[in-house]
A and B are shown apart, each in its own frame.
Chain A
Amino acid sequence: MNSRLDVVFWSYNEMDNFVATFRSIQQVVADIELKLSKFNPKAEVFQLNINQIGSHIEVSPLVWDNLYKCVEYNKKTMGLFDIAYGSSSKESYQLQERLHFDESNKIIGYKIAGTQLDFGGIGKGIALKEVANILDKDGVENAFVSFGGSSILTRGRHPHGDYWPLTLTDEDSQQDEVKLNHHAVSISGFHIRDGRKESHVVHPYSGEMRHRHQMVQVIGQCPVEAEVLSTSLMLAKEEEQQEILSRFEIEKIKMVPL
Chain B
Amino acid sequence: MGESRRDFLRKIAIAGAGAAMVANPFGQAFAAGGNKKVRIAVIGTGGRGRLLLEHLLIIIKEGGNCEISAICDNYQPSLDMAVKLCVKYKSKVNTFSDYRKLLKDNVPDGVVIATPLHQHAHITIDSMNAGIHVLVEKSMARTLDDVKAMYDVHKQTGSVLMVGHQRLFSKRYLNAMDRIHKGELGEIGQVRAYWHRNKNWRRKVPKDKPELERQINWRLYKEYSAGLLTELMSHQLQVANWALEQVPVSVTGTGSIRYWNDGREVNDNIAAIFSYADGTQFIYDSMTSNKKYGCEEQIMGHKATMELETNKLILEKPPKPKPAPGIAQLISDIKKDTFQSIPVGGASWAPETALKYNGEPIYNSQKGDGTKEELLGFVDCIRQGKNIDWVTAEGYNTSIWSLLTEQAIDTGQKLTMPEKYII
Contacts and interface: CB of A to CB of B under 8 A. Distances in A.
Report, nearest first, the 9 A-B pairs whose CB atoms are least far apart: A150-B348, A149-B324, A120-B352, A160-B339, A167-B341, A189-B347, A161-B339, A6-B327, A165-B341
Contacts of B343: 167-169
28 contacts: A2-B354, A3-B350, A4-B324, A6-B323, A8-B330, A37-B352, A38-B352, A118-B351, A120-B349, A120-B350, A120-B352, A144-B330, A150-B346, A150-B348, A161-B339, A164-B342, A165-B340, A165-B341, A167-B343, A168-B343, A186-B348, A187-B344, A188-B347, A188-B348, A189-B347, A192-B346, A202-B351, A231-B349
Interface residues of B, number: 30
Interface residues of A, number: 51
A102 interface: no
A24 to B, nearest CB: 20
A183 to B, nearest CB: 13
Interface in A50-107: 86
Of listed A10, A186, A187, A192, residue having the most chain B CB within 10 A: A187
Nearest to A192: B346
B355 interface: yes
Given A8-B327, A158-B339, A202-B351, 20 more contacts: A1-B352, A2-B350, A3-B350, A4-B322, A4-B324, A6-B323, A8-B334, A38-B352, A119-B352, A146-B324, A149-B324, A150-B344, A150-B347, A160-B339, A166-B342, A166-B344, A167-B342, A169-B345, A187-B348, A200-B347
Interface string B313-324: 000000011111
A202 B346 CA distance: 17
A160 B330 CA distance: 11
Interface of B: 320-324, 326-327, 330-331, 333-334, 337-355
Contacts of A234: 349
Nearest to B355: A2
Chain B contact residues: helix, strand, loop or mixed:
loop
Contact of B349 (A160, A167, A230): A230
Nearest to A38: B352
Contacts of B326: 146, 149
Nearest to A202: B351
Nearest to B323: A6
A103 B410 CA distance: 74
- For the residues of A in contact with B, the DSSP-based class is mixed
A82 to B, nearest CB: 12
A152 B334 contact: no
Interface of A: 1-4, 6, 8, 10, 37-39, 86, 118-121, 123-124, 144, 146, 148-152, 158-161, 164-170, 177, 186-192, 200-202, 215, 227, 230-231, 234
B347 A187 contact: yes
A191 B353 CA distance: 14
B352 A149 contact: no
A258 to B, nearest CB: 14
Contact of B339 (A165, A187, A230): A165
